[in-house]
C-alpha cells in the first residue's frame, strides 16, 4: 500500500485549493493512502511515511516562499540522507501568467533533488494548450476545469508512479492510462 | 542613438508574431533604431551593432531549440568576450501553458549571461494576472490584447534601458513611465 | 535484468572519459546491463531498451550543446510519450569551475523531465567537499580520484535505482550501501 | 559617484569572507562608494541608495537560505517596482564542489530579476579553469588565490558597470581592462 504526502503552504487559500485537488487526484488510484498537510502541521515523520511527495507553495519572487524554505532547511539535520529515492513533484500558484510558477516548480524540484528524490514533470496535456511539464503551475487559483484537471493529474501521476514502482501494480503505469493523455 | 536587435527563430510563425510585436514596442521609444532578424539572416555584426538584444525562440523541450543553440554555440569564437555589458531579454512561445515558456526564457537569459550581457525580466503587469517577469512567455501565438501587450512591453522596456543607459535620456527610465505598470 | 544507457557527446574526449567512468559505476551493480553510446551512434531504440539513462555533454554556454539538443529535439516525434517513468541523470564537463557544469546538468535534467523521466541528483559526498547533487559536474576531465569517483558514483546510483525499482532487489537501495556516503 | 551594496548572509563566516573580497574588488574602481552589510543589518534604504548590488549567501539545498528569502519576501511591499534597472550579481559558498553554488547563484539572480534588476555573470577567467559565469560560486571559503580573485573580480565588474553606466566613465568598461581577462 503506497503512501502519498501532499505538503503545502498557502496564505490566500489558492495553493490550498490546488493541494486539495492534487490529493483528490492521488486518491483516485486504488490502494494509495493520502495525507494532506500544511507545512505548519507537517512533520519529518510524514516524510519518512510517504513513498511520494507533492510539494506546493505560492510563487514568491519566482521561487520558494521563505516559510517553506525554512521548514526544509531545518529538516536537513533529521531527514537528509534518509529519504533518497522517494518520488517527488511540485505545484505552485503565482500572481500572474508569466509570473514564475514554472520556475518556482523547478525550484521546488531542485530542492527535492538535493534530498535525493526522484522528481518528475508530466508529459500529458489535459486540454489543448494546457499541460504541466514541471508540475502544476497556475496563475491564481484553479478556476477552469482544465486548471482543476492539471492539479488532479499531478496527484494522479504521483500516485501512479508509487503504485507502479512501490506496490508493483503494472496497470497503473501511465502507458495503460484509460484517460486521454494528449488533451 | 541606441540600437535594438530583435533576433528570433520561428517554425510555425508564432514566435515571428511575437518578434514583430517586440520590435514594435522597441520602436515606440524615440531615438531607438530597431533591427528585426531571423536567426538564419542574423550575423555577428548585428550583435556588435546592437546595444540591446531581445532573443526569441519557441520552447522545445523546455529549452532552446537546437538551431538557435547552434547559432550561439558557433558564434562563440567571434563574439565571446566582445559583447559584454549589452542589455538582453528573452521571449518564447510554447505548446501550452505549463509547457515551459518561462523556463525557456530563463534558459535564453542564462545563455546570454555566459556572454556577459546584462539581462532582465519585467516587473510590470500589463493586465490583471498577466506579467512577464522573465520575458514574454506565451502558450501559442499572441492572441489576446494582453498577450500582445506583453510582447510590446518587452521591447519597450529593452528600448527604455538602452535609451536611459546608452543614450542618457532620463525620461525613458520606467520610473517616469506614462503608461500603467500595475495592470 | 535492468538496463542502463550511458549516452554522451564529446568533442575533446573529456566527456567521453566521464562517460566511461559512469558506465563502469553502473556495471558495478550485479544484474545490470550497460550500453555506452555516443549521441551519434545512439538510436531511439536505445531509449526504449533502457530502464535508466545517464546523459552527458560538455557545458556549452551553460547549457546543452546544439548537437545533443538536435538529437533530442528530433527524437520528439518517436520517443515523446513513450519513455515516461524511466530513470534519468546527467553529467557535464565545463571549461572551468564556475563555468556552468551544474547548470548544464540541471538543463539536461529539465529536458529529460519534459520526456516524463524520473530524474535525480545524488546526496553522497565521495570525499570532503566533493559531491554531485545535480549529477557529475566537473571542470575539465576527471583528473583526481575524487573526480573519478564522482562519475562512478553517478552510474552506480543510477544502476542502484534501476536494480531496486525495476528488478526489485532490495539490497541495492542506497540505504544498504556498503561504501561510505558521507565523504 | 556610483554606489555599490554588498549584502550577504553568513553563518559560518565563509560567505562573509567572500563578501569582504567582493567589497574590496568593488572599491578598487575609483569613484565608487561601497557598503558592506549583513542581511540582518541591511535596510530597504540600502537598496534605494545603491546603483549596484552584490547579493551573497551560503548554498542551502541548492538555493537561497530561508533568512535571505525572508528578507527579500518581506521587502516586496516597500521595494518592489522601486529598484528596477539597478545592476545585480550574486555569490555563494556551498558545502562542496557539485553541491549547488552555481545553481544558488542563478536562484539569487532569478530573484533579483523579479525586482527588475539588470543581472549578470562574468565572462573572465581569473586563472586556468577558474571562472565565474553566474557569479562567484565556491566550495567552502575562498582559500586559493584564484578563489579570492574570483570574489574580487565579481565586485570589480559590478563597480565597473556602475562606473560606466551610471557615472559615465568610459575607461572602466571592461573592454579597456588593464588586467588579464582570459586567465
What tens digit of pLDDT does each residue of B136-163 get? 999 999 999 999 999 999 999 999 999 9
Query: Mean pLDDT for chain B?
Result: 97
Interface residue of B55, B59, B73, B105 to substitute, partner C, most C CBs within 10 Å = B73
**To the nearest whole angstrom, how far is the Cα of A144 from the nearest Cα of chain B?**
13
CB contact under 8 A, B121 and D123: no
Q: Which long-range contacts (CB under 8 A, 24 or more apart) does A24-28 make?
A: A24/A152, A24/A155, A25/A151, A25/A152, A25/A153, A25/A154, A25/A155, A25/A156, A25/A157, A25/A158, A25/A159, A26/A52, A26/A54, A26/A155, A26/A156, A26/A158, A26/A159, A27/A155, A27/A159, A28/A152, A28/A155, A28/A156, A28/A159
Assign residue D132 the CATH number of its domain.
3.40.50.360
Establish if D65 belongs to a structural domain.
Answer: yes
pLDDT, mean of residues C150-154: 98
CB contact under 8 A, C97 and D130: yes
**To the nearest whole angstrom, how far is the Cα of B65 from the nearest Cα of chain D?**
21
pLDDT, mean of residues C114-121: 98
pLDDT tens profile B39-93: 999 999 999 999 999 999 999 999 999 999 999 999 999 999 999 999 999 999 9
Establish if D183 belongs to a structural domain.
Answer: no
Interface residue of D11, D55, D57, D63 to substitute, partner A, most A CBs within 10 Å = D63
Is the distance from CB of D92 to CB of D57 less than 8 angstroms?
yes
Establish if D94 belongs to a structural domain.
Answer: yes
Residue C92 — φ and ψ, nearest 5°? -155, 145
> What is the span of the domain harbouring residue A134?
3-176
Beta strands at A130-132 and A122-127: parallel, antiparallel or unpaired: antiparallel
Task: With cut-offs at 50, 70 and 90, classify the pLDDT of residue A180.
Answer: very high
> Which residues numbered 13-52 in B keep a CB inside 8 Å of some CB on C?
none
Contacting residues of B for C67, CB less than 8 Å apart:
66
Q: Give the other-Cβ count within 10 Å of A106's Cβ.
A: 30
Q: Which chains are within 8 Å of A by 3+ CB pairs? A: B, C, D
Contacting residues of A for D63, CB less than 8 Å apart:
63-64, 69, 107, 110-111
Task: Report how far residue D5's alpha carbon sits from residue D14's, in angstroms, rounded to the nearest whole number.
Answer: 18
**To the nearest whole angstrom, how far is the Cα of C165 from the nearest Cα of chain B?**
26
pLDDT, mean of residues D169-180: 97
How many residues are listed for chain D in this entry? Answer: 183
| Half-sphere exposure in the Cβ direction for A98 (13 Å, CA) | 31
Is the distance from CB of C124 to CB of C153 less than 8 angstroms?
yes
Task: With cut-offs at 50, 70 and 90, classify the pLDDT of residue B23.
Answer: very high
CB contact under 8 A, C174 and A84: yes
Task: Report how far residue B4's alpha carbon sits from residue B150's, in angstroms, rounded to the nearest whole number.
Answer: 17
Residue with cell 567582493: D22
Establish if B85 belongs to a structural domain.
Answer: yes
CA dihedral (C141, C144, C146, C150) in degrees, to 10, reads: 20
Task: With cut-offs at 50, 70 and 90, classify the pLDDT of residue D1.
Answer: confident
Establish if B183 belongs to a structural domain.
Answer: no
pLDDT at D173: 98
pLDDT at A20: 98
Q: Is the pLDDT assigned to residue C120 strictly greater than 90?
A: yes
Q: Is the pLDDT assigned to residue A183 strictly greater than 90?
A: no
pLDDT at B148: 98
Task: With cut-offs at 50, 70 and 90, classify the pLDDT of residue B183.
Answer: confident
E strand or H helix at A151: helix A145-165
Contacting residues of C for A113, CB less than 8 Å apart:
109, 119-121, 133-134
Query: Mean pLDDT for chain A?
Result: 97
> Which residues numbered 70-109 in C keep a CB inside 8 Å of some CB on A?
80-81, 84-85, 87, 106, 109
Establish if B181 belongs to a structural domain.
Answer: no
E strand or H helix at C20: helix C14-27
Contacting residues of B for A130, CB less than 8 Å apart:
96-98
Q: Is the pLDDT assigned to residue C183 strictly greater than 90?
A: no
CB contact under 8 A, A76 and D61: yes
Interface residue of A47, A58, A63 to substitute, partner D, most D CBs within 10 Å = A63
Helix runs in C125-173, H state only: 145-165
Domain count, chain B: 1
Establish if C183 belongs to a structural domain.
Answer: no
Establish if A182 belongs to a structural domain.
Answer: no
Task: With cut-offs at 50, 70 and 90, classify the pLDDT of residue B101.
Answer: very high
Contacting residues of D for B84, CB less than 8 Å apart:
123, 174-175
**To the nearest whole angstrom, how far is the Cα of D98 from the nearest Cα of chain A?**
11
pLDDT at A1: 87
Amino acid at each position: 500500500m503506497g503512501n502519498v504526502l501532499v505538503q503545502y503552504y498557502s496564505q490566500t487559500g489558492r495553493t490550498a485549493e490546488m493541494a486539495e485537488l492534487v490529493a483528490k487526484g492521488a486518491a483516485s488510484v486504488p490502494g494509495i493512502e493520502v495525507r494532506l498537510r500544511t507545512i505548519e502541521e507537517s512533520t519529518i515523520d510524514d516524510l519518512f511515511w510517504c513513498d511520494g511527495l507533492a510539494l506546493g507553495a505560492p510563487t514568491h519572487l519566482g521561487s520558494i516562499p521563505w516559510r517553506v524554505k525554512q521548514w526544509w532547511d531545518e529538516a536537513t539535520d533529521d531527514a537528509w540522507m534518509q529519504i533518497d529515492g522517494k518520488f517527488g513533484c511540485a505545484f505552485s500558484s503565482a500572481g500572474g501568467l508569466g509570473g514564475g510558477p514554472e520556475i518556482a516548480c523547478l525550484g521546488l524540484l531542485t530542492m527535492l533533488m538535493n534530498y535525493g528524490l526522484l522528481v518528475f514533470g508530466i508529459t500529458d496535456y489535459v486540454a489543448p494548450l494546457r499541460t504541466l511539464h514541471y508540475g502544476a503551475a497556475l496563475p491564481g487559483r484553479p478556476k477552469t476545469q482544465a486548471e482543476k484537471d492539471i492539479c488532479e493529474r499531478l496527484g494522479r501521476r504521483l500516485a501512479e508512479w508509487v503504485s507502479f514502482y512501490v506496490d508493483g501494480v503494472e496497470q497503473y503505469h501511465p502507458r495503460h492510462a484509460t484517460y486521454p493523455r494528449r488533451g
